[in-house]
């Protein structure tokens, strides 16, 4: 059997109980998507802006059931990569899935960084029309995220608790403002049934908008990469994940209804701060600067959680032997994957500098994850033949079938996805292929063979997970 050279290193710390995990999931799903892209979705479908969010929620929920079966069956940090390897045993496919998930976290965090910069410019009245200032703010923001991540998962998740409460407060303000305005006869509630898909058919418009709205629903899959840092993952994951998704789904629909009731679709689609327009229309006396700061905190939370996930996944791949061993080093003092944090931050810097556009980065995030979700939905069916010790969640068979077909279709050009998203995803995956090739060459020269051992893929060291 091929072996991978490993050295004794500190292991990840189990610090997350049900409460922290629930806030982690809610905080990761809520944020940049709903705060920044509501107007873009409205531009594609008009007043039925809530419908693409509802469809995206349904697709995410179906896939979440597949993740629940797999994460309770294999409670490891590597998530989709582990499931892919166990189901198909194709080393290169496993690597691509893992790198796609990591890339999606970085594109999502980069989206958040750009949205943070745009909101900061508006809140503080900065004239950054040339784009350079927006980029510099985004880079500084991402550097700060890296410092918090380096402090450790405990500190990062505690920051997530605070930021989740802030971003949830912002969305509740939008819902409250909408309810108040409707109650006193302001706004136009009839807009919620008025579709405007331009030259596209109604179904085509909703599908295209769902492809964009899906970015707002991603994030729940990050939680499976934190399995090694959770207490009793098999017991707590099903209830916590489904509860978190249900909460976010309801909030998204209510926010969408409030937004379109108070602001017409053509106006809502203008600018990068759609929800700020909603608050201004429904509650003119509300301090808009305060809401702008809340938006900044909301997107900051998305960046923190996604970079936390990406660095842990790189750590797991390195310890498994498909990325250089350097990326698997853990700080003895902080017990965090310091080198992996630096690597993922560098990739985010590149995206912020050379890509930048929020819809393009957000759409690429959705594209990468839709492909991964299609693979995971198939994997859960293939792995039914694999039995493990201990009870685990089992999803009804028809759900993974529906999930695989829906995710695969939404990832195709027939779903109205722009070409630029495929280009960005292609470049990121090519970087992954190059890293794979370099690692293979180095392994051959040193006589080390990367075996893609499923047990090692979780990131466990020789002594097993830390309890």
Separation between Cα atoms, residue 177 and residue 287, nearest integer Å? 13
CATH class, domain 18-457, is mainly alpha
Determine the pLDDT at residue 49: 94
Residues 6+ apart with CB under 8 A from 360: 418, 420, 421, 424
* Spatial separation of the C-alpha atoms in residues 280 and 303, rounded to whole Å: 26
Q: List, in sequence order, every residue forming a beta bridge with 46; answer none if it has no partner.
A: 195
Whole-number Cα distances in Å, 75 to 55, 67, 227, 357, 465: 29, 11, 6, 36, 11
What is d(CA 214, CA 415) in angstroms, rounded to the nearest whole number?
Answer: 12
Residue 114 to residue 127: CA distance in whole angstroms = 15
**Domain spans, the chain:** 18-457
The pLDDT of residue 465: 25
Residue-level pLDDT at 248: 92
d(CA 35, CA 254): 13
> Quick one: pLDDT at residue 451?
54
pLDDT for 5: 45
Q: Left if phi > 0, otherwise alpha if psi is -120 to 50, otherwise beta: which for 388?
A: beta
pTM of the model: 0.84
Spans of the chain, pLDDT less than 70: 1-16, 76-78, 127-131, 152-160, 222, 225-230, 233, 334, 356, 447-467
Closest CA to 222 of 36, 71, 384: 71
pLDDT at 65: 94
**Whole-angstrom Cα distance, residue 240 to residue 237?**
5
């Amino acid at each position: 059997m091929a072996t991978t050279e490993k050295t004794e290193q500190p292991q990840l710390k189990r610090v997350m109980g049900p409460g922290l995990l629930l806030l982690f999931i809610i905080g990761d799903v809520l944020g940049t998507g709903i705060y920044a892209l509501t107007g873009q979705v409205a531009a594609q479908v008009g007043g039925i802006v809530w419908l693409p969010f509802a469809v995206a929620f349904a697709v995410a929920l179906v896939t979440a059931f597949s993740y629940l079966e797999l994460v309770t069956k294999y409670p490891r940090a590597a998530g989709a990569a582990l499931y892919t390897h166990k189901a198909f045993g194709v080393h290169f496919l496993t690597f691509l899935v893992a790198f796609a998930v990591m890339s999606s976290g970085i594109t999502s965090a980069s989206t958040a960084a750009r949205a943070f910069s745009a909101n900061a410019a508006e809140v503080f009245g900065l004239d950054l029309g040339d784009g350079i200032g927006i980029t510099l703010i985004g880079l500084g923001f991402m550097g700060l995220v890296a410092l918090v991540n380096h402090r450790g998962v405990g500190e990062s998740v505690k920051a997530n608790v605070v930021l989740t409460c802030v971003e949830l407060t912002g969305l509740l303000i939008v819902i409250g403002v909408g309810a108040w305005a409707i109650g006193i006869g302001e706004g136009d509630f009839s807009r919620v049934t008025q579709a405007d898909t331009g030259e596209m058919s109604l179904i085509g418009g909703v599908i295209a908008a769902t492809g964009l709205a899906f970015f707002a629903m991603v994030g729940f899959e990050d939680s499976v990469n934190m399995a090694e840092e959770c207490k009793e993952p098999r017991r707590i994951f099903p209830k916590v994940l489904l509860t978190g998704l249900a909460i976010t789904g309801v909030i998204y629909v209510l926010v969408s209804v409030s937004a379109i009731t108070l602001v017409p679709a053509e106006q809502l689609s203008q600018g990068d701060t759609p929800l700020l327009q909603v608050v201004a229309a429904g509650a003119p006396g509300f301090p808009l600067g305060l809401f702008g700061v809340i938006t900044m905190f909301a997107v900051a939370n998305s960046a923190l959680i996604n970079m936390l996930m990406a660095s842990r996944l790189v750590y797991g791949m390195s310890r498994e032997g498909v990325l250089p061993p350097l990326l698997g080093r853990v700080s003895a003092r902080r017990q965090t994957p310091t080198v992996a944090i630096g690597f993922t931050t560098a990739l985010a810097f590149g995206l912020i500098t050379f890509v930048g556009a929020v819809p393009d980065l957000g759409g690429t995030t959705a594209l990468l994850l839709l492909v991964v979700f299609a693979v995971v939905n198939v994997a859960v069916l293939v792995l039914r033949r694999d039995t493990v010790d201990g009870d685990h969640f089992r999803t009804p068979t028809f759900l993974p079938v529906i999930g695989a077909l829906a995710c695969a279709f939404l990832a195709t050009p027939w779903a109205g996805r722009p070409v630029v998203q495929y280009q960005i995803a292609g470049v990121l995956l090519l970087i992954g292929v190059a890293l794979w090739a370099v690692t293979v060459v180095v392994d051959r020269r040193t006589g080390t063979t990367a075996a893609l051992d499923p047990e090692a893929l979780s990131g466990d060291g020789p002594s097993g997970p830390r309890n």
